[in-house]
């Protein structure tokens, strides 16, 4: 679909890439630089909902830049302008609720790299869209790099075709260990009581089962969650038949708090995991945050992460079905 919208003009950002004929991210700026207030933006979004949704599916990442978006309240207004249903975050990242549908992004130490992932990829119901708002851009680092998922599948099939097909056929099994209470000193420090919104073990087990998890209680009050089998790749409607690398193999394999293996218990060779990690980094796209940026991700098509940064950095997030 060609670009055609009178309310936006196409911009550029440092680090953008052309992937399979599409620019990632597609940068949208005010059609009139003198009319960049939040009300102008909200009106433009409300009048072009279907077109904007198509741009997200087409380009996978859309960056709104140059509008005067100030805070969580205005960001929430942007999110709600589309009428997309909210989906509550379930996962290990420590987060704080800010306003209505708006939360902080992962509050783990800024010195740590948050590895590439599809948001809530292990949960039965995951968001289709992840929306980020930069309230305070970091003085150095802190990019939110992202990766076209289908490119990982293509390259892994080129180098390890038999392994990819075997693992896709068998599926993946993951384990993850969570403490009882939150530990904000870790990027995966969200305790199970916060994650499942209860301190009752039986209720936590019921909620985990509904999400497709089994649980094993640990002597220290923590819990090990077991998930699987989960697919290695997926093909989603409306995305050119692309086979997405819809997993968190590299992010969880051989870590202190997590593991990833074939669903039948077969270990995954470390050299293949290492090569996959290299491919993901080679395919990554990143740009420098600017104050007021609003970034829309197609969560079915992109992995994303967070580069280490100097403080302060404040990026807020909303997730949508």
Residue 155 has pLDDT above 60, yes or no: yes
- State residue 1's pLDDT score: 45
pLDDT in tens, 118-149: 999 998 899 999 999 999 999 999 999 999 99
Residue 10 has pLDDT above 80, yes or no: yes
Q: State how far the Cα of 183 lies from the Cα of 192, in Å rounded to an integer.
A: 11
Measured in degrees and rounded to the nearest 5, phi and psi for residue 153 equal -60, -45
Give the model's pLDDT for residue 187.
Answer: 63
Question: CB within 8 A of 5, min separation 6: which ones?
Answer: 48, 51
Going by pLDDT thresholds of 50, 70 and 90, the confidence category of residue 24 is very high
User: pLDDT, tens digit, for every residue of 40-76?
Assistant: 999 999 999 999 999 999 999 999 999 999 999 999 9
Q: Which helix (H) or strand (E) holds 161?
A: helix 161-170
Tell me the DSSP string of 287-321: ----TT-EEEEETTTEEEEE--BPSP-EEEEEEE-
Distances from the Cα of 101 to the Cα of 18, 115, 299, 313, angstroms: 32, 24, 17, 20
- Which is more confidently placed, 91 or 21? 21
Alpha carbons 161 and 166: distance in angstroms, whole number: 9
Percent of the chain scoring above 70 in pLDDT: 98
Q: Of the given ranges (64-78, 130-144, 175-189, 251-265), which has the lowest mean pLDDT?
A: 175-189
Per residue in 197-227, pLDDT (tens digit) is 899 999 999 999 998 899 999 999 999 999 9
Reply yes or no on whether the pLDDT at 247 is more than 90.
yes
Q: Identify which has the larger pLDDT, 243 or 4.
A: 243
**pLDDT for the residue numbered 45:** 97
**pLDDT of 192 above 60:** yes
Integer Cα distance of 59 and 19 in angstroms: 9
* Cα 254 to Cα 229: distance, rounded to the nearest angstrom: 18
CA 5 to chain centre: 27
Find how far residue 255's CA is from the centre of its chain. 20
Mean pLDDT across 109-117: 96
Q: What pLDDT does residue 75 have?
A: 98
**pLDDT value of residue 124:** 86
Q: Name, in order, each residue with C-beta under 8 angstroms of 12's C-beta and a sequence gap of 6 or more.
A: 27
DSSP-assigned beta bridge partners for residue 302: 148
What is d(CA 291, CA 296) in angstroms, rounded to the nearest whole number?
15
Interval 298-309: pLDDT, tens? 999 999 999 999
């Amino acid at each position: 679909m060609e670009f055609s919208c009178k309310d936006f003009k196409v911009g550029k950002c440092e680090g953008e890439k052309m992937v399979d004929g599409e620019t990632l991210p597609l940068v949208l700026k005010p059609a009139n630089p003198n009319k960049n207030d939040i009300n102008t933006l909200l009106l433009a979004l409300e009048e072009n909902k279907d077109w904007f949704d198509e741009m997200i599916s087409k380009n996978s990442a859309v960056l709104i830049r140059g509008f005067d978006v100030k805070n969580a309240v205005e960001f929430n207004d942007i999110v709600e302008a589309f009428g997309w249903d909210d989906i509550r975050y379930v996962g290990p990242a420590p987060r704080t609720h800010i306003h209505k549908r708006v939360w902080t992004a992962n509050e783990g130490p800024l010195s740590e790299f948050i590895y590439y992932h599809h948001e809530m990829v292990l949960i039965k119901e995951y968001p289709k869209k992840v929306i980020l708002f930069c309230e305070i851009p970091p003085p150095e680092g802190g990019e939110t790099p992202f990766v076209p998922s289908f490119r990982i599948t293509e390259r892994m099939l080129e180098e390890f075709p038999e392994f990819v097909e075997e693992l896709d056929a068998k599926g993946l099994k993951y384990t993850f260990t969570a403490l009882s209470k939150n530990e904000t000193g870790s990027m995966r420090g969200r305790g199970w009581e916060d994650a499942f919104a209860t301190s009752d073990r039986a209720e936590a087990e019921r909620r985990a089962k509904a999400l497709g998890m089994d649980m094993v209680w640990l002597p220290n009050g923590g819990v090990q969650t077991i998930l699987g089998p989960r697919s290695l790749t997926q093909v989603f409607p409306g995305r050119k038949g692309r086979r997405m690398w819809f997993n968190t193999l590299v992010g969880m394999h051989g870590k202190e708090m997590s593991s990833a293996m074939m669903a039948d218990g077969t270990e995954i060779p470390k050299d293949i995991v290492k090569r996959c990690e290299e491919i993901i980094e080679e395919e990554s796209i990143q740009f420098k945050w600017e104050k007021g940026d609003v970034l829309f991700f197609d969560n079915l098509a992109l992995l994303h992460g967070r580069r280490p940064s100097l403080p302060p950095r404040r990026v807020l997030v909303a997730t949508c079905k």
